[in-house]
Amino acid sequence: IMPIFDKMLEEQLSQKVLWTPSRVIARLGKEINDESSYLYWAYKNKIPVYCPAITDGSIGDMLYFHSFRNPASLIVDIVQDVRNMDDEIVLAGLRKTGI
């Protein structure tokens, strides 16, 4: 996962990419490139996978270790994902979300 985080950090610095948990998950789905993975299919079909607590587990640990190797840390904006998720619910209507 560290090589993926390295690429993501490079994109953050060079292209000003704002990483959110759902974008990180989409990137992992892309990099996995395994048809048996639901993250792969979510990525392929542009379906966001929201995980506000992405740092509460092994991915969080790996982000922590990655920050030791890189003075410019990879930033994951959890609040932006909460906004995106809430906007989908509020703006999509009953037909698209089931809510």
pLDDT in tens, 3-37: 999 999 999 999 999 999 999 999 999 999 999 99
Looking at per-residue pLDDT, the higher value among 65 and 93 belongs to 65
Q: What percent of the chain has pLDDT over 90?
A: 81
Q: Domain total for the chain?
A: 1
Give the side-chain half-sphere CA count within 13 A for 45.
9
pTM for the model stands at 0.88
Q: Which range marks the domain in which residue 28 is found?
A: 2-97
- The whole-number pLDDT of residue 90 equals 81
Residues 6+ apart with CB under 8 A from 70: 6, 9
